[in-house]
Amino acid sequence: MDFNMKKLASDAGIFFTRAVQFTEEKFGQAEKTELDAHFENLLARADSTKNWTEKILRQTEVLLQPNPSARVEEFLYEKLDRKVPSRVTNGELLAQYMAEAASELGPTTPYGKTLIKVAEAEKRLGAAERDFIHTASINFLTPLRNFLEGDWKTISKERRLLQNRRLDLDACKARLKKAKAAEAKATLWNDEVDKAEQELRVAQTEFDRQAEVTRLLLEGISSTHVNHLRCLHEFVESQTTYYAQCYRHMLDLQKQLGRFPGTFVGTTEPASPPLSSTSPTTTAATMPVGPSGAGLAPPGEAALRLEEVAPPASGTRKARVLYDYEAADSSELALLADELITVYSLPGMDPDWLIGERGNKKGKVPVTYLELLS
């Protein structure tokens, strides 16, 4: 009991001393030990990493689950360490309504048949969305949360300890300064000076040790950036896969609807050209956006005969196929993902298309389905 009381009294005394030192520093009545510029830069970098990680995490959660009530429910399940129940996606729910509508309005009518086809496509879109959310949550959101709930909490704890060690050190410096001033006035040796110097040495040692521990943790932020960079690449890859699946499902649906009599199908020409990334070694399409028309020649001119087409003496390139492609007619070349083909362009060709050759077969191929190799 006595030991505990003494410890409580000691802790209270240390807390009071730190509070006094902190207050006097705020009013400019006490000196403060400053950290070196490199250390301050590490602190600022860590704070910036934490703040932006929180913002990116929260907005990605909104992107994957726009419903705030559903996000709160998922958060509570995670905190309770329970599995989040499976939730029907909006696309799957729409597919269910369309299928029920077709059944009631007549599945053999043009409208009913179209409802069924669209429902099947929406169901596939919903399944693709579910896979994307699951993959993004594991590969992107989870590492961000682990940093905020693990590494950052450790860093924050060690920073608080460093702050306390710094306050103790400066309080010891102030006591030594006062002891030396009292000794000078008394013109005799003061035992308080020896005691203050000993306390200062201990405080300096503890401060230096804690500063080194904190510095190592702050320098580990670089490793955090590398890890988050890898996760960001995986997020982009999963998002690209998701949108590519959506595009293929809708393209298939559009082709199916085109076979139905009395069904209006819009043009497959995109409103804007696809974005592509270009590097010194490869040119890869990020999304397989449908090319405009099937033009080997400008409007008003006769299409070139494929059997008369010969590859140019120079200008042929190898290309890797990014996605499966079903030829729309005999002038096009069907493609399989990951296969290598030879491609080249001809004067007057639509820039969205190339001539592709595989063995003794040749035909037009859409550029957005290819990764051009150097």
Q: Is the pLDDT of residue 38 over 90?
A: yes
Alpha helices by DSSP H, 106-220: 110-136, 142-146, 152-186, 191-219
Residue 129 CB partners (closer than 8 Å, separation 6+): 89, 91, 242
With both helix axes pointing from N to C terminus, report the angle between 90-105 and 110-136 in degrees, rounded to the nearest 10. Answer: 160
Residue 214 — φ and ψ, nearest 5°?
-65, -40
Q: Is the pLDDT of residue 52 over 50?
A: yes
CATH of domain 316-373: 2.30.30.40
Quick one: pLDDT at residue 6? 56
Domain with CATH 1.20.1270.60 in the chain: 11-258
- Please state, in angstroms and rounded to a whole number, the distance separating the CA atoms of residues 324 and 237: 17
CB 292 within 8 A of CB 344: no
CATH of domain 11-258: 1.20.1270.60
Quick one: pLDDT at residue 124? 93
Share of the chain above pLDDT 70, in %: 76
CB 110 within 8 A of CB 263: yes
- DSSP structure string for 248-314: HHHHHHHHHHHTSTT--------SSPPPEEE-SSEEEESS-PPPSTT-SS-TTSPPPPGGG----SS
Lowest mean pLDDT across 63-67, 146-150, 180-184, 199-203: 180-184
At residue 355, the 3 state secondary structure works out as strand
Residue 100 host element (H or E): helix 90-105
Task: Give the residue among 49, 43, 54, 37 at the shortest CA–CA distance from 226.
Answer: 49
Helix, strand, coil percent content, the chain, rounded in steps of 5: 60, 10, 30
Instruction: Give 359 or 16, the one with higher predicted confidence.
Output: 359
Share of the chain above pLDDT 90, in %: 46
pLDDT band at 3 (very low <50, low <70, confident <90, very high): low
Report pLDDT digits (tens) over 287-344. Answer: 444 444 444 444 433 455 666 677 776 778 999 998 889 888 888 999 998 999 999 9
Place of tokens 């070349």: 333
pLDDT band at 219 (very low <50, low <70, confident <90, very high): very high
Domain with CATH 2.30.30.40 in the chain: 316-373
Looking at residues 343-368, what average pLDDT do you find? 89
Q: Is the pLDDT of residue 263 over 50?
A: no
What sign has the CA pseudo-torsion 347, 353, 358, 363? negative
Task: Give the residue among 285, 278, 280, 355 at the shortest CA–CA distance from 315.
Answer: 355
